[in-house]
Every structure is written in structure tokens, then in C-alpha cells.
Structure 1
Amino acid sequence: MWLTIVPAAAAAERLTPVPYDDLPPLAPELVTFDRLPAKDYPGYSFDHGLAVPGARLGERFAGQGLGAVHIDDGGPHDRLTGRPAVPLAIEPGAPGQGLSLSRHTAYRSMALYPLGPLGQPDPQARGEGSVAILFARDACAVGFRVHTEYVDAFGTTEGHEGTIRATFYARDGAPIGAVRIVAPEGISAHGFLDAQAGIAGLTLENRDPGGVSFDDLRFGCPAPTG
């Protein structure tokens, strides 16, 4: 796995990658997406966004534009444009094109699938959408696990790389920085620390031909001591 950090001009040193396993004391809030009974694909579809303890999730932030991009012969992927409006607010997406939860064999648990433009229950929509996450309180660090996989025409995953773009925002909608993650086939885990402890939200977009799923979202700040 490799990543490139593309920070905002005024925040060149704010965003730093950290090992996901180091996050529990830095980002103690954990969302596993297992609060609902386990359910196989197509699972549960959320047309009005998804509320979890400490955060809300949707397709994008209010004020952002939504387009589509084709990267292969499969379903199109969401493409976000523009800067969020102030204050940050979740935009849920069109019916069937927002978010879904269903059982994932690799995680052995429920996982989050962003739905692409083709919409639920089209299998080529599963995992090809965008996700926006808005935190109730500014976070010092954020992390997640992601599953990427694409079986080519020969039935193999040889040389597979799944690309995810994570863009972090402050409460006023200003971008903190953007990270381009190139993940190998399977499950990988990623963590990021903000030196100014001001991550109010982030968006996740992917260009993985087979779509992606997310699990084990971590966020927050270290517990006070003394």
C-alpha cells in the first residue's frame, strides 16, 4: 500500500498517516456497523443517510456536486465536485444511490457499501459510490478498514490495486488535505492524524473496478488525563 498526501495550501503539515493499530488511544470512538441484525446482500438500504454514535453518514456534503465517471466496463462511480457549504451538512443521495449495509464474508461482519449511480439492487452499484462522514465533535484522528477486490477477465486478482481518495474538512468546510490511497486486494487499514485536532468530516471516493466496502470506522480525540 502507498499513499500520497495532497494538503491544502495553508495546512501543509496538518495531516499525517498513522498505523491503524495505533489509533485506539488517539481515536477512541469505534463504529462497527453491526448494530442491525446480520443480513446478506442487498442488505439494508439507507435513502436518508445513516446515523451512528458520534457521526452521521451520507453520500456527500451539502453544496457539493455529484457526477459519474466510468473507469471500466462496469458500473459508473460517483465523482464529487466543489466545496461543501457552511456549515457542514450531510446530503443523503437519491433513493437507492446512497448507502447500504450487508454481511461481508471477508470482514466476517456487516460492512458499509456506498452505492453508485446504477442504484440498489444492481450489483454493479454496490461499493461504487461515495461516502461523506460528519462528526458531532472535531476529531484529532480518523481511521477505517477498507476491502478492495477486482476479479479480471481471467478470474484472477493478480496485480489488483484499489484507489481511494479521502478528503478531510474543517467545520467551516475548508479542506484540510486529501489523501490518495492505493490499496492491495483484500482488507487494508488506514489512519490519519490532524495536528490541529480539527477534522469535522471527510469524504471517501473510490475508483476500484469491483467496488469497495468499509468497516471499523475510528474517530475522536484522546481521553483527558489527570
Structure 2
Amino acid sequence: MIRAALILACLPGLAGASELRKVPYDSLRGQPHRIETFDSLPSVTEPGINFDQHWRAPGLSIAERLLGQGVEETDTDFGRFDVLNGGPGAPPRVIPGASGQNFTIAYHDGFGSNALFPLGPVGFAGADGRGEGSIAFTFDDPQFAFGLRLHAEYPDPLGQRPMPRAAQVAFYDVKARLITRFVLPLGRGVISLAWRSGYGIAAVTIENTDPGGIAIDDILYEVEDLSG
């Protein structure tokens, strides 16, 4: 179970909690949309296919961070992780990480399909490097509805694995201004996440401190709203 659906941090931004709404993922998927599944690549088990460049899909780009941001390492009791610092430049643009520290795409048992693993400081070769990195998305056109599926940890009926921890998600507009930033407590298994925003979302960044790292799949965007 997710311990809380969403914790909004008290940080400056264009939008408050009332202007960013968490909505059911399937409510967006039921509308005409684009979705990036990473299944255009061969299904390869971990460590998967290493990408030192950005990923490009129609209307969507993915890499480690946004232009203007730096990345540092934080060393914790439960792993080594990427931490983003600095503000992005306008318009937002994704920038790959160092070789072997950007992301990998591999078959993921939890999703039953390919997924993206952001690579942390340990890098591509180490199991404890896959999932501990930061990741950034940019959209060609501002999005008012957006979703993804995230996996933090497998079910653990014997209680032998550490508890999942948290991710920090930030949304930016086309001028690279922070819309909002929030902390998302993570749970076991696949978490489906989706939001609607009163401001057009041009970029998203995700960092995490989960002991097992995270994987991302089924990025949902260019949702056509049929309500009107």
C-alpha cells in the first residue's frame, strides 16, 4: 500500500495543491493519448541496454537532468543516489548523464515488459546503480494531463527487504519555472500515477532514495480531453 497518495512540499512554485490534482491513471488512459512503453527495443534482461544519449519519442525526450541543472551524489545508509541541483534554463531541455550513468532499458518482471532504469552513481555495471539515478522528461508541447507507472520494490511477504522510501517529483512550465515540487512516499509493486494541472507542464524531474531503486514505464502524455 502507498502510505500516502501525495505529500506536497512547502516549496515556492507557480501552483499550489489546489492547482495540481492527482487523478486515476486509467481515467487518462481511457482518453486518446500517446504512451511510451519502451517496447520498441528488444526484451533484454538486466543490466539491459545502456543509453548514454537521450531517448526520443514523438513529442517526448528523456535523459538524466535538465539543461542548467547539476547532479551530485548523496551517500546514505540505504544506497548512493543522484541529487539534482540548480535551476533549469528555458526552454527546458534534457541532458544525458556521464557515460554509464544516464539510464538503461531492460525487461522488468514487475511490469512484465521493458522499463527504464535511471542510473545512479554506481552506474550501469552494478545492480545497486540501476534505479538510483535521476531522470528528466521534456514535452514538445505543454501538457495539462500526464501519467506514468513506477516500480520501487517487489512484494516482500517475509519482510526481509528494506521498506521503500520516497521519490521527489518536480514539474516545470515552458519558461522553466517551477510549477510545484512534492515528495511521493513509495510502496511495493507497481504504482500508477497521473495528474492534471492548471499550468502546462513542459518538463518533469524525478529523484529517489529507494533502497532498491526505481523503474519507470508507460509514460502517458498528449491526452485529448473529450469532456468538452
User: Normalised by the size of structure 1, how large is the TM-score?
Assistant: 0.90
Report how far residue 20 of structure 1 moved: 1.1
Match of 2:179 among 171, 176, 191: 176
Report how far residue 71 of structure 1 moved: 2.2
1:35 aligns with 2:40: yes
Would the alpha carbon gap of residues 24 and 40 (structure 1) be closer, same or farther in structure 2, given more than 3 Å must change? Answer: same
Report how far residue 157 of structure 1 moved: 3.6
Aligned partner of 2:114: which letter? M
Report how far residue 8 of structure 1 moved: 3.8
Q: CA RMSD in A?
A: 2.2
Q: What is residue 204 of structure 1 aligned with on the other side? A: 206
Q: What is residue 69 of structure 1 aligned with on the other side? A: 74
Q: Give the total of aligned pairs.
A: 222
Determine if contact 1:27/1:141 at 8 Å carries over to the other structure.
Answer: no
More moved, 166-175 vs 46-55: 46-55
Determine if contact 2:13/2:177 at 8 Å carries over to the other structure.
Answer: no
For residues 107 and 150 of structure 1, what CA distance do their matches in structure 2 show? Answer: 11
Determine if contact 1:25/1:223 at 8 Å carries over to the other structure.
Answer: no
Determine if contact 2:150/2:216 at 8 Å carries over to the other structure.
Answer: yes
Moved over 4 A (4+): 223-226
Report how far residue 29 of structure 1 moved: 1.5
For residues 112 and 226 of structure 2, what CA distance do their matches in structure 1 show? Answer: 34
Q: What is residue 143 of structure 2 aligned with on the other side? A: 139
1:148 aligns with 2:152: yes
Q: How does 1:73-84 map to 2 (within 5 A)?
A: 73-74=78-79, 76-84=80-88
Aligned partner of 2:148: which letter? F
Specify the SS of the correspondent of 2:29: helix
Q: What is residue 115 of structure 1 aligned with on the other side? A: 119
Aligned partner of 2:203: which letter? G
Match of 1:91 among 92, 95, 119: 95
Specify the SS of the correspondent of 1:70: strand
Would the alpha carbon gap of residues 14 and 104 (structure 1) be closer, same or farther in structure 2, given more than 3 Å must change? Answer: same
Which blocks of at least 5 consecutive residues in structure 2 are unaligned?
none
Aligned partner of 2:192: which letter? A
Aligned partner of 1:136: which letter? D
1:47 aligns with 2:49: no
Which blocks of at least 5 consecutive residues in structure 1 are unaligned?
none
Would the alpha carbon gap of residues 116 and 61 (structure 1) be closer, same or farther in structure 2, given more than 3 Å must change? Answer: same
Determine if contact 2:155/2:189 at 8 Å carries over to the other structure.
Answer: no
Report how far residue 224 of structure 1 moved: 6.7
Match of 2:132 among 128, 151, 158: 128
User: Normalised by the size of structure 2, how large is the TM-score?
Assistant: 0.90
For residues 18 and 213 of structure 1, what CA distance do their matches in structure 2 show? Answer: 21
Aligned partner of 1:45: which letter? N
For residues 37 and 213 of structure 2, what CA distance do their matches in structure 1 show? Answer: 19
